[in-house]
Amino acid sequence: MAAGRVQRRDGEYHLRHISAAAAAKDYSCPGCGLTISAGTAHVVAWRADSVLGDEFAASERRHWHSHCWRISS
């Protein structure tokens, strides 16, 4: 799974990998609805092609379990 910009069925996304050491907070994964606990490596994704602009898209970014992101495409 590449970081940077990725193309998916529903558009283009920015993707950033978060290491376990850098994962300082809990998040809710939109793929499975379960908690991504602090200390768990995961990915952050947000639209790269939002008609509302980059700032809005970044504010709507979501934290995903890496597996959930892979299987959601």
What total of structural domains would you count in the chain? Answer: 1
Percent of the chain with pLDDT over 90: 64
Tell me which residue range forms the domain holding 50.
Answer: 4-71
* pLDDT reported for residue 70: 93
Q: What is the pTM of this model?
A: 0.85
Is the Cβ–Cβ distance between 28 and 35 less than 8 Å? yes
Q: Give per-residue burial for 25-62: e unless 16+ CB within 10 Å, then b.
A: eebebebeeeebeeebebbbbbbbebeeeeeebeeeee
